[in-house]
Structure 1
Amino acid sequence: MKRENRPLQPPILEKGLSQPHYLYREYEPGKSLEPYVACYWTSEFLPGEQTQLHRIVPDGCIDIIVDLRAANVAKGAFISELMTSFEVIHLTEPQSLFGIRFFSSTVRKFLRYPASAFHGSHPLLEDLWGSEAGLLVEEMQEVQDIKGRIAIVERKLYNCLEQQISLSENLLQTSMAYLYDAHGSLSVKELAEKICYSERHLRRMFHYELGVSPKELAQIIRFQSMLQALFRTPKDQLTQLAHRYGYFDQPHLIKEFKRYYGIPPSRVFMAGEPKKVRS
């Protein structure tokens, strides 16, 4: 997957969120893992006088999340689902997390199940990898530096690359490549024509592999593409962005932004720069 398709999350957009007691960082994967892994990330939180809000927005990805403070290593890692709406978490307890953010179309190669299997749930990694999950968590807890932890993770992921992909997975990856290249601005009909399959087959494949419709995934990709444009050039006019990314008009763009982010773009991008948002 191209690096420009790497999704954004609020802690990266809202620079004011970074505090001594709350730190979120992202790290690039090794070159051979770039088609599959959007990034690795860490989130550290120590409780203070104020409640810390942690906002998560849809990004078309599935994450393995490792709790580096877990007392029970067998239950120290779990899978996130492919989100279709935002979530705001009130952090109150200390946390130290390490995440592996996969592009949803490639996650089966590493987790042995399609993304649709995790829809509406957060299964333990142990349920998919058996005892290997606990060993991974234990190894990561024993290493204190980020380079060492990434090296442990990548050794495991490289082993998974040897697995063969199915025809359905290959078709899904081709479909997703078209959607990313078009910044999500493709109709189901246009996408079906590009992959030379019927709209019905396309919808069935997306629901089987991802648990969402191709239209929903396209809208999420378009939202993320627009986020990236605002992040790169915060002074861009919303009317221009609406036209560039296939929204009907500026009100349509704002409506979609609020749907996936929870607040209007004016509360994230003020005076040409991302700002800190409290709620």
Structure 2
Amino acid sequence: MYTEYRPNILLAPYVETYWVSDENLKSQQTIRIFPDGCVDILFNCTEDDNSDIKPFIPYIIGTMTIFSDVKYDKKVKIIGIRFRPCAIAAYTKVPICEFTNAKVDTRLFQSLFSDFLSEQLFEIENETAQIRYIENYLLSKLGCLYDIDKQIINIVNHIQRTKGLTPISNLLDNICLCQRQFERQFKNLTGVTPKMFSSITRYVTTKEFIKSNPDKSLFLIALECGYYDHAHLIRDFKRFGGMLPLH
């Protein structure tokens, strides 16, 4: 359904990937987007006004805690930038929790892409050149990024390394913040609480585990992925993905 492009090495700490949707759909389709702890910016690179993503407007898609169904009309090409958790906070002073579960027009506030000439994308026919045009804009901002609390970045990396299984109380052992300050700062930078981010990370990890182990029972999958039991796993999959595991 989409093609991914790796970012310039200078942007790798901030951008996880660029992605481009398939513009050769035979009919209108609805794509289900699942929570992954990331923030995306989307561009509609066609003049089709029937899409949920309107042309000429860069949209921030905030950190999601529930799935979202996005309508794509046929022959609509969407270019997306998927930022790593916390990373988009380097480009804006607006708390990232303001975007959680929301689609926001970047022109409504002083932030990343609010001064971007997105209309130029329509004049560039080559997909790779469109990505390069977006990337050059991101590269031009590297000299004026905001500082991100390295303690929070380290905690985010630790949660991802441990697949969301570290108790929140343990996360506090290595930072110089009280619990209330930590949770507020974490939410401002990622869009969600540490507990929610851990749950999303476990969900994403479990989805990948299921793909790699299609013959394992839900009971064993639940145990290996850190759930209390398979009923707990099923509840998370319904909450985040709107469907049962192995669906």
The residue identity in structure 2 corresponding to 1:132 is D
Conserved? CA contact 2:96–2:187, under 8 Å? no
The CA deviation string for residues 93-136 of structure 1, in whole angstroms up to 9 with x for no partner, is 64211000112311022344331232354222233357632x1x
> What does 1:36-75 correspond to in 2, within 5 Å?
36-45=14-23, 48=26, 52-70=29-47, 75=56
Give 3-state SS (helix, strand or coil) of 2:104's partner.
coil
* Alignment-derived partner of residue 157 in structure 1: 138
In the TM superposition, residue 211 of structure 1 has moved relative to its aligned partner by 3.7
2:189 counterpart residue number: 209
- Distance in 2 (CA, whole Å) between partners of 1:86 and 1:130 is 25
Task: Give the corresponding residue for 1:132.
Answer: 115
CA shift in 2, pair 1:53/1:173, >3 Å = same
* Counterpart for residue 167 of structure 2: 187
Q: What TM-score, normalized to structure 1?
A: 0.76
| Equivalent position to 2:94, from 88, 91, 113 | 113
- Aligned residue for 1:87? 68
Structure 2 vs 1, CA of residues 120 and 266 (structure 1 numbering), >3 Å: closer, same or farther? closer
- Residue in 1 aligned with 2:243? 263
Q: Letter of the aligned partner of 1:35 in structure 2? A: P
**Local SS of the residue matching 1:39:** strand
Go from structure 1 to structure 2 and tell me whether the alpha carbon gap of 1:92 and 1:174 turns closer, same or farther (over 3 Å shift). same
Letter in 1 for 2:58: A
Q: Distance in 1 between matches of 2:149 and 2:155?
A: 10
| Pair 1:130–1:252, CA change in 2 (3 A) | closer
Select which of 249, 252, 270 maps to 2:232. 252
Q: State the TM-score, normalizing by the size of structure 2.
A: 0.85
Deviations 1:124-180 (A, max 9, x none): 2233357632x1x233222222221221122111222223443x5322211101111
Relative to structure 1, the CA distance from residue 163 to residue 253 in structure 2 (aligned partners, 3 Å threshold; closer, same or farther) is: same
Q: 1:34 to 1:24 in 2, by over 3 A?
A: same
CA gap of 1:198–1:86, structure 2 versus 1, over 3 A, is same
Instruction: Give the aligned residue type for 1:148.
Output: A
The equivalent of 2:58 in structure 1 is 77
- Taking the aligned partners of 1:97 and 1:29, their CA distance within structure 2 comes to 17
Q: For residue 180 of structure 1, what is the amino acid of its counterpart?
A: Q
Q: Per the alignment, in what secondary structure is the counterpart of residue 66 of structure 1?
A: strand
Structure 2 spans left out of the alignment, 5+ residues: none
Q: How many residues align?
A: 241
* Alpha-carbon shift at residue 80 of structure 1 (Å): 0.8
Matches of 1:103 and 1:96 in 2, distance apart?
A: 23
What is the aligned-residue identity percentage? Answer: 27
Name the CA shift for 1:164/1:53 in 2 (closer, same or farther; >3 Å): closer
CA distance in 1, matches of 2:212, 2:5: 18
Residue 174 of structure 1 contacts residue 195 of structure 1 at CA under 8 Å; is this kept in 2? Answer: no
- Of Structure 1 and Structure 2, which has the larger fraction of its residues in helix? 1
Q: What does 1:216-255 correspond to in 2, within 5 Å?
A: 216-255=196-235
Say if 2:152 and 2:186, in contact at 8 Å, map to a contact too: yes
Read off the aligned partner of 1:96 and give its amino acid letter.
Answer: K
Q: Which amino acid aligns with 1:152?
A: Y
Aligned partners of 2:41 and 2:61 also within 8 Å: yes
* Contact map agreement 1:109 1:161 (CA 8 A) in 2: no
Q: 1:141 aligns with which of 97, 122, 139?
A: 122
Give the C-alpha shift of residue 39 in structure 1: 1.1
Unmatched 5+ residue regions in structure 1? 1-22, 268-279
- Cα RMSD over matched residues? 2.6
How far 1:220 moved relative to its partner?
0.5
Once the two structures are superposed, residues 160-219 of structure 1 have per-residue CA deviations (whole angstroms, 9 ceiling, x without a partner) of 2223443x5322211101111111112211111133433222212123333421101110
Contact 1:104/1:115 (8 A) holds in 2: no
